[in-house]
Amino acid sequence: MANIKSSAKRVLVSREEAARNKADRSQLKTNLKKFETAAAEGNKETAETAYKAAVKSVDRAVSKGLLHKNNAAHKKSSMAAKMNALDK
């Protein structure tokens, strides 16, 4: 354990932040997988709701610093293309 009080606090705070980031990343991956499975099945109604949730979680991940904005744009573009392919 750290000898300095401020460094001891940083250890605790960084553990909390790491746990929060891990939970947020897990939720992001879950939302993306839900969309992917709905799109693969061809279920348009489920895919639409999953798409909205996935885009929202991707945007939230960017604001929290979990994803780079270009990575998020790539993911959203890919999902939009899959949604458009369901219409055809």
pTM across the whole model: 0.85
Q: 88 vs 12, which has greater pLDDT?
A: 12
CA distances from 64 to 21, 55, 67, 68 (A): 9, 14, 8, 10
Alpha carbons 54 and 33: distance in angstroms, whole number:
9
78's tokens: 């890919």
Give the model's pLDDT for residue 72.
Answer: 97
For the segment 2-47, what is each residue's pLDDT rounded down to a tens digit? 789 999 999 999 999 999 999 999 999 999 999 999 999 988 999 9
